[in-house]
Structure 1
């Protein structure tokens, strides 16, 4: 991997060695200041975790691939990944196509709780690829909770989401057993754990959580874009242009979240929350993410709002657009058709979070 240069301003140039490593090495276990007693339990433990829509980062100057944080907000949706785990005497068996990322979180978990035995793990993600639902973080969280339940839950839900945030990795382009640390604000694990709408502060701090958009529908629309949102392209976008704009706009973004968005969420005002989201689309790193694709994204979102859609926002680095509305699926399809778009996914907000079950 190349040596990446990050410029956030005229006097802010740093280098980051984006070096991959073998899965299960370079782990970041948590230090827990209480005795942990992992006790293998019989049976198989299954976790169903909702996906997330990541609306925006608050300040990209506060995170990098080896430093989770940056703040942000997003919400859980009723699209699910599942993971099953059972204890074995030794060894790690993984039934999942993306074995390196699972192997890495397994070793981080075992080192944290001090477990020397093995696991048999099977995972199944939601199969919606590259639509902004954060399948990697959801799967790492689900596997962590399944292993934790199989050992009598030595870690709390809060500790597990921090563990995932600190050890968030992606596979390398070479598709071997190596991984590399990815960009992680903590929005995904928090939303998947607790459901609803979450606001994150820096260093994976969960600042706020609230039920969101009860009785409303969520639709994901994917406009055509020939611009990459992954790999070096994503790195250059997030750590250069986006950081520069967040230097300027992070105070107003934080102010709008605290003074406008949170009160709207408290009173269940989806339209007001959507107005705040629309303002943030033009601010800081979110603006950089949208402009990275094409100004046509702004035109599409504007026309969706003009059609009466209450909450419109591009998810993560796009180009997927996630909307929340009281309109029916038929009404939404008609609007999308009139704009030359198609609905890739119809769902709703999950306000309950992940669930754990046990079978013999």
Structure 2
């Protein structure tokens, strides 16, 4: 077990026991536990969910491992996780590279709906792990819908989203798991598509179609700094937390008074200008500087080249570019910067589907 210190200010220093546990322990049923008319099916259910770009958290002081919240903004993109699930008599048969996170959610879901049987699950994620594209939240969104459908849909999509957020974990060593940071943005946009804005306690404040027909390019600049585990914890709960004490009111004002109206009008350039302002505010500044000031230089040069919307996803180092420009044109812009396109895709406005 690791003891990590959190400092939010001169008089705000606490210790957090970053303890791992076995899948199936520390379950939160979110008040949804009850008696449901389940109809278990051995017919496989297949789902596909889009990944996400998480643009910013609104206030790092409002969440912690095991305590989802903090608010945030993000949108879905066409990189996909797929899950096939069916009911079996007993136990969990899991065919996936990260079985611990699947096993834990299956335990959470089964306890919530009162299911005493088992599941067979085959999963495939989008293979971009810990670079800001939501590998864990996307696979959990696809998984939750598949097992829910295999029992006759006892829970609503929003209940599944809340269940994921309150039981969000990452794998650790020897098949164990630990609570992770979760704003709820990933499941919200992976489930419904488009762009979503969340408030605290996983509350969906606003969602709309976004960037229809626009190209999305993900550029991953070189970085030797980890965006997972203890490094992520120290970043988010220390410097980022302190900066959000200072800037959270301004960030909330920008979102409510400028960003949501621009999203409602489909004004991509205005949203891009506002997001650029947010890159220098609060926790987003801490996340970017975590990798080095060079990330600001990259994004500034891309904006100077006329790209409409630039933003670093999550704790990075992935940079999302949304533009009308073709792939060949963007390559010519990136080449002098020694950068390459890692993902070429589109905004996803449809969300999770059943295959």
TM-score range for the pair, normalised by the shorter chain length: over 0.9
Unaligned stretches of 5+ in structure 1? Answer: none
2:185 to 184, 187, 203: 187
Matches within 5 A, 1:1-360: 1-32=1-32, 35-172=35-172, 174=173, 176-357=174-355
Cα distance in 1 between the residues matched to 2:34 and 2:177? 31
CA RMSD of aligned residues (A): 1.1
Unaligned stretches of 5+ in structure 2? Answer: none
Cα distance in 1 between the residues matched to 2:138 and 2:93? 20
Tell me the secondary structure at the aligned position of residue 29 of structure 2.
coil
Residue 34 of structure 1 deviates from its aligned partner by 6.6
Residue 130 of structure 1 deviates from its aligned partner by 3.5
Tell me the secondary structure at the aligned position of residue 19 of structure 2.
coil
Per-residue CA shift, 1:176-197, capped at 9, x if unaligned?
Answer: 1210000000000001000000
Q: TM-score, normalised by structure 2?
A: 0.98
> Residues 34 and 112 of structure 2 are in contact (CA less than 8 Å); yes or no, is this contact kept in structure 1?
no
Cα distance in 1 between the residues matched to 2:251 and 2:31? 33
Count of residue pairs the alignment pairs up: 355
Q: TM-score, normalised by structure 1?
A: 0.97
Cα distance in 1 between the residues matched to 2:128 and 2:308? 24
Residue 97 of structure 1 deviates from its aligned partner by 1.2
Cα distance in 2 between the residues matched to 1:211 and 1:162? 22
> Residues 37 and 113 of structure 1 are in contact (CA less than 8 Å); yes or no, is this contact kept in structure 2?
no
Per-residue CA shift, 1:231-257, capped at 9, x if unaligned?
Answer: 211111100000000000000000000
Cα distance in 2 between the residues matched to 1:292 and 1:120? 40
Residue 91 of structure 1 deviates from its aligned partner by 1.3
Cα distance in 2 between the residues matched to 1:97 and 1:29? 26
Residue 38 of structure 1 deviates from its aligned partner by 1.6
